[in-house]
Amino acid sequence: MRAVECGPVVPSSGAFRPVSPESVRLTGHGFWADRRALNASGILPHAHAWLDRMGWTQNFRDPAHHTGREFTDSEIYKLLEAYCWDDADHSAEIGTLTALVAEAQDKDGYLGTAHGRDGQHARWSDPNFGHELYCLGHLIQAGVAAARTGKAPGLLQVARRAADHVVRIDPGICGHPEIETALVELYRVTGDVRYLEQAAAFVDRRGHRTLPEHEFGWTYFLDDTPVRDATSLRGHAVRALYLAAGAVDVAVETGDTELLAAVVRQFDHTLARRTYLTGGMGSRHQDESFGDDFVLPPDRAYSETCAGVATIMLAHRLLLATGDVRYGDIVERILYNVVATAIADDGRAFFYAHTLHQRTPTEFVPADRAQLRFGGGPRAPFFEVSCCLPNVARLLASLPAYLVTSSAEGVQLHQYASMDVTAGGLTLAVRTRYPDDGDVAIEVRRADQGERVLTLRIPAWAAGATVDGLPVEPGTAVRVRRDFIRGDVVRLHLPVTPRWTRPDPRIDAVRGCVAVEAGPLVMCVESLDARQNLDHLMVDASEAPGAAVVKGRFADPTDARWPYRSNGDDCAHGTPTVVPLVPYHRWARRGPATMRVWLPVMPT
C-alpha cells in the first residue's frame, strides 16, 4: 500500500499547509482514537449494511428499479470516501463498490441512478431537488480520496468522466451546492483548469434567482443574493455551508481576495449571531435552515449533524487560507458537542438533529427500522434521508488531517489529543487525557536543524491557560520559537474545570439562563440523574458550578387554565437540590430521558 499523500483539502497556497493523515497518528486510547476505532469496527460496517438493506447499492446494478430518494447515490460515494481515508483495510468493500459505481456510468460520462431512464424524471429536469450535481460532487470527492490514498484504482477516472460530462453540458446550478468544492479539489488533483473554471462559474452564477421559484423561497437555495454580496450564511444550513466551502476553495485558487473576504464576513456574522452553544447551525426545522440573527431556541434546535460536518469543512478551509487559529475553536466545539453527540456507543445509531432541550422523554427506536427522516427523539439506526451517517464516517476517517497543519517555519497544533506528529520539521509525541484533563505534554522526538516554531491554539474559553507555566491569552496562538532538540518538552495547561456560560441577551429564548461548560464540553442535566421535571429547575449561579453538579431548586409551578398572569411563580420556595451534570455528548445513552443545556437562574 502506498503512502497517503495528503488529506481531503490541499490548497495550492495559503497561510498553513495541510498535513497528510498519515503524519498524524492518534495513539492509544483517547477521545478521538476510540471514536476512529469505532468508525472502522462499527460505523462503517453499519452504514454499509444499511445502504445494502435499503437497496441503495442495488440501485447501481438495477437503476430501472430505483429505490429511495433522488440523492441516495451520494451516500454510497461518501461511504467510499470514508473507506479510503480510514486506516483499516477495507479493500474488499472498496473494490466491490468501485466496480458497482463504474459499471453504472453511462457512455457519455453521466452517472446517476435516479434520473434519465424509462419511468424516471429526465436528466437535469429538476434543478431545485434533483440533486444530480450534488451526487456527482460526492463522487468526485470519493475519486479525490481514491487518488490520494491509492486505495480505489479506477475511481478517479470514473469521477473525471463525470466531471468532464458536467463541464461539457454545463447544466446550470444545482439546488444543493456540493460540487463546487469537489470540482476545485479535482482541479488540485489533476491540474485540469476546466474543473476550477466550472466551480467558479457555479459560485458566481448563484444568487441571481435563476432556480425555479419554490415555497421555501430562493434563500433556501442561496439563490437570493450573490455569494460575494451576502452578509451572513442563511437558508438551508448544509447547502449554505457547502457553498461557502466551495467559494473559499475557488477564492484561494483564483486569488480572489474579494470572494474570500465575503465568506469570512459571512462566517463571522454567522458565528456571532446564528450558532448554538454546541457549535450547531440551523434553528428552523421546516426548511432545515438558519434562523434570523439570535433566533436560537434550544428546544427547537435543528442543528443537523451534516451542518456540523460542513462547518468543520468550512472552518478548516478558512484556517488554511488565513492562518487565523481561532477557526480551530469552532472545529473543536463541533467535534465534541455535535459529532461526538451524534454517534451511539456501538456506532450503530445516530442523531440527525441535535436539540439542546428535550422536554418529553426520548423513546427507544427499533434497531431494525429506518426512521422517516428526522422526527426528534433518540439516536436511530438509519433514516430514509441518511446524509449524516456517512458524513460522520468520512469526517472521522479523515480526522487527523483536521488536527494539525504545517508551514515553512514549523507546525501548528489546532486540536489536542494523544498523537504522534511529523510535520513542519518536527516529530512530536503529544500526550494528554484531554478533555478529561487539561494538561498536554508535547515532547520533541526529532527536530530539523535551526529554529522551528511550535504554534499552539489557546481556545477562547481557556482563561488561566499556561504554556510552560507562563500565563497565555485565551483566543490566541502561542508561538514557541526554539532551536528544538530531541527530548524538549513543551507543557500546555488548559483549565477544564466547569464554568458558567451566559448567552447574549438578544438570544431571547435563553435570556435569564446559564449553561455549564467544562473545557470544550458543553454540559447538560438529564432527568435520569435529576429524577424530577427538569422544566421546573432553576439554578443558583451565585457561586461556581461544582465539578459535576449545579445547585438549585425545583420549583412547583401552578397549573392554571391560562399560562399568563400578573404575578409569576416564585421558585424561591421550591425544593433545594443538587443536580448532576453530564457532558452533552453523553446524553440519551442510558435510556429515555429529558435533558436541558440552558438552565434558568433563580431570582436573587
- The residues that touch Zn ion, with contacts defined as CB under 5 A, are 304, 306, 387-388
Quote the distance between the C-alpha of residue 594 and its chain's center. 25
Closest CA to 222 of 124, 288, 312: 288
Q: Which is nearer to Zn ion, 144 or 339 (CB)?
A: 339
Q: Which is nearer to Zn ion, 256 or 288 (CB)?
A: 288
Q: Judge whether 406 and 16 are in contact, CB under 8 Å.
A: yes
Q: Which is nearer to Zn ion, 177 or 545 (CB)?
A: 177
Cα–Cα distance between 147 and 208 in angstroms, integer? 35
Q: Which is nearer to Zn ion, 387 or 494 (CB)?
A: 387
Q: Which is nearer to Zn ion, 243 or 306 (CB)?
A: 306
What does the DSSP assignment read for 72-118?
HHHHHHHHHHHHHHSSS--HHHHHHHHHHHHHT--TTS---SSBSST
Least distance between Zn ion and beta carbon 257 (Å): 32
User: Alpha-carbon torsion 152, 156, 157, 158, what sign?
Assistant: positive
Least distance between Zn ion and beta carbon 402 (Å): 18
Least distance between Zn ion and beta carbon 69 (Å): 12
Q: Which is nearer to Zn ion, 178 or 224 (CB)?
A: 178
Helices 72-85 & 91-103, crossing angle to 10 degrees? 140
Least distance between Zn ion and beta carbon 304 (Å): 5
Closest CA to 548 of 588, 586, 593, 503: 586
Q: Which is nearer to Zn ion, 340 or 453 (CB)?
A: 340
Cα–Cα distance between 475 and 454 in angstroms, integer? 17
Q: Which residue has the closest beta carbon to Zn ion?
A: 306
Q: C-alpha distances in angstroms, 462 versus 438, 472, 578?
A: 10, 9, 26
Which residue's entry shows cell 488529506? 7
Q: Which is nearer to Zn ion, 135 or 306 (CB)?
A: 306
Least distance between Zn ion and beta carbon 65 (Å): 26
**Which positions ≥6 away from 69 have C-beta within 8 Å?**
114, 384, 385
Least distance between Zn ion and beta carbon 66 (Å): 21
> Which amino acid makes up residue 400?
P
Least distance between Zn ion and beta carbon 306 (Å): 3
Least distance between Zn ion and beta carbon 567 (Å): 45
- The β-bridge relationship of strands 476-482 and 452-458 is antiparallel
Q: Which is nearer to Zn ion, 378 or 459 (CB)?
A: 378
- Please name every residue paired with 446 in a beta bridge, in sequence order, or none if there are none: 427
**Which positions ≥6 away from 304 have C-beta within 8 Å?**
237, 238, 280, 281, 282, 288, 352, 353, 354, 374, 388
Least distance between Zn ion and beta carbon 407 (Å): 33
Q: Which is nearer to Zn ion, 306 or 528 (CB)?
A: 306
Q: In degrees rounded to 5, what are phi and psi of residue 12?
A: -80, -15
Least distance between Zn ion and beta carbon 382 (Å): 12
CA torsion, ordered 109, 134, 62, 366, to nearest 10 deg: 160
* Total residue length of the chain: 604
Cα–Cα distance between 430 and 27 in angstroms, integer? 9
Least distance between Zn ion and beta carbon 385 (Å): 7
Measured between its terminal Cα atoms, the distance across the chain in Å is 66
Least distance between Zn ion and beta carbon 374 (Å): 9
Q: Which is nearer to Zn ion, 386 or 412 (CB)?
A: 386
Cα–Cα distance between 245 and 570 in angstroms, integer? 49
Q: Which is nearer to Zn ion, 237 or 582 (CB)?
A: 237
